[in-house]
């Protein structure tokens, strides 16, 4: 098999968990690091848009053709090493996974090996390479908690670089990698990077504890499911099983037979407001979580639900002549927008805009979509 194989006229609907999106000019499937770097480099040299894709679980692509190259990372390797200079007790183990490794495969592997730190992130779709870009998180944990460093192809410097966790400037669903999408590139004549940012992740390394027990449980719902207090620990295997059960109950574990999982997971980030704005805009009873920067984070799901947009809701514009929705809020969780089986990207976009408008009208708060938008401007 060649390191990279080209395929004719694939569509992004075939490559994403939303199952919507138009045809792409070229798909390259890379099964080595050199093949991936070569494909990206060739696209950049030709001035062709380039999308590096893993699991396709955080992308909403428009129905229009994508006139560029989609580079799909097929690599899936996990290795271990001991952290240098570690102490004699609970020595951290460095676990490195190639960017194309499915995220949950890494989590499952770590739990099976008796390592802790990733268990609360079980069941999240997508690849290891995408996880630090978004600083994915769930149930009180996020990638920034355990990431040590990553290797990436720097499209500007045209070389492989190692970026330490401190250099990634992690925030809530944010990193330097993601911010680069908003920065003009001198290498591209001042055009914005995108749809992949300046750095294409090649592999990521995490520091995990060899204890067999979880990191402290930070999320009340998970603590209740485990029968422990917030801040307590539990066997990592138990935490993983509980998280998978909770995610499945909300349609957040991929299942081809369940249209509630034909989505990009949580579609909107939780709004983070200045204290004055929170006091002015948030109604009594709305969740309020203080952040490390003195701001107030609230729940997008609560705002949607209390704006009169319940589970399964859809505007008339995305329904057929019989009133059956082509796209709707999940029937299990209002934060997920779902393809009910025959949706177009335009249907999903219309649903998202209707939700944004509904929350703005009710609370004066503008929700921000979390997935990467390709061919769509919010």
The pairing of beta strand 66-73 with beta strand 59-61: unpaired
Alpha-helical runs (H) found in the chain? 33-46, 103-112, 131-134, 176-179, 220-226, 236-249, 275-281, 300-305, 345-363
- Tell me the C-alpha distance between 267 and 351, whole Å: 11
Active site residue 370: yes
- Tell me the C-alpha distance between 276 and 194, whole Å: 35
C-alpha torsion angle, residues 11, 189, 40, 370 (rounded to 10): -50
Active-site entry in 57, 110, 266, 330: 266
Environment class of residue 47 by beta-carbon count within 10 Å: exposed (0-12), middle (13-18) or buried (19+)?
exposed
Active-site entry in 26, 72, 173, 225: 173
Environment class of residue 262 by beta-carbon count within 10 Å: exposed (0-12), middle (13-18) or buried (19+)?
buried
Active site residue 266: yes
- Tell me the C-alpha distance between 70 and 28, whole Å: 6
- Tell me the C-alpha distance between 39 and 262, whole Å: 29
Active-site entry in 29, 203, 349, 370: 370
The catalytic site residues sit at: 173, 266, 370
């Amino acid at each position: 098999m060649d390191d990279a194989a080209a395929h004719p006229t694939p569509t992004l609907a075939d490559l994403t968990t939303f199952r919507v999106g138009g045809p792409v000019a070229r798909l390259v499937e890379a099964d080595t690091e050199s093949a991936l770097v070569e494909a990206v480099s060739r696209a950049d040299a030709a001035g062709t848009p380039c999308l590096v894709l893993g699991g396709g679980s955080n992308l909403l692509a428009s129905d229009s053709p994508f006139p560029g190259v989609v580079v799909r990372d097929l690599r899936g390797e996990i290795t271990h090493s001991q952290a240098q200079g570690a102490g004699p007790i609970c020595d951290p183990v460095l676990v490195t996974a190639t960017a194309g490794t499915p995220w949950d495969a890494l989590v499952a592997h770590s739990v099976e090996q008796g390592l802790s730190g990733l268990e609360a992130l079980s069941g999240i779709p997508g690849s290891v390479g995408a996880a630090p870009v978004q600083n994915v998180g769930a149930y009180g944990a996020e990638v920034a908690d355990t990431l040590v460093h990553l290797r990436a192809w720097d499209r500007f410097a045209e070389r492989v670089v190692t970026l330490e966790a401190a250099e990634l400037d992690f925030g809530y669903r944010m990193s330097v990698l993601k911010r680069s999408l908003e920065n003009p590139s001198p290498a591209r004549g001042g055009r914005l990077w995108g749809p992949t940012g300046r750095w294409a992740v090649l592999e990521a390394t995490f520091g995990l504890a060899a204890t067999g027990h979880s990191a402290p449980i930070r999320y009340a719902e998970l603590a209740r499911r485990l029968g422990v207090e917030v801040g307590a620990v539990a066997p990592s295997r138990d935490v993983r099983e509980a998280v998978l059960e909770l995610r499945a109950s909300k349609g957040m574990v991929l299942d081809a037979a369940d249209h509630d999982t034909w989505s990009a997971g949580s579609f909107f980030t939780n709004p983070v407001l200045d204290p004055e704005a929170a006091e002015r805009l948030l109604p009594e009873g709305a969740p309020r979580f203080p952040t490390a920067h003195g701001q107030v984070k609230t729940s997008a799901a609560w705002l949607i639900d209390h704006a009169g947009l319940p589970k399964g809701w859809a505007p008339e514009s995305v329904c057929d002549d019989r009133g059956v929705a082509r796209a709707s809020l999940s029937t299990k969780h209002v934060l997920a927008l779902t393809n009910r089986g025959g949706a177009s990207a335009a249907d999903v976009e219309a649903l998202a805009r209707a939700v944004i408008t509904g929350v703005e009208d009710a609370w004066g708060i503008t929700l921000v979509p979390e997935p990467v938008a390709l061919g769509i401007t919010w």
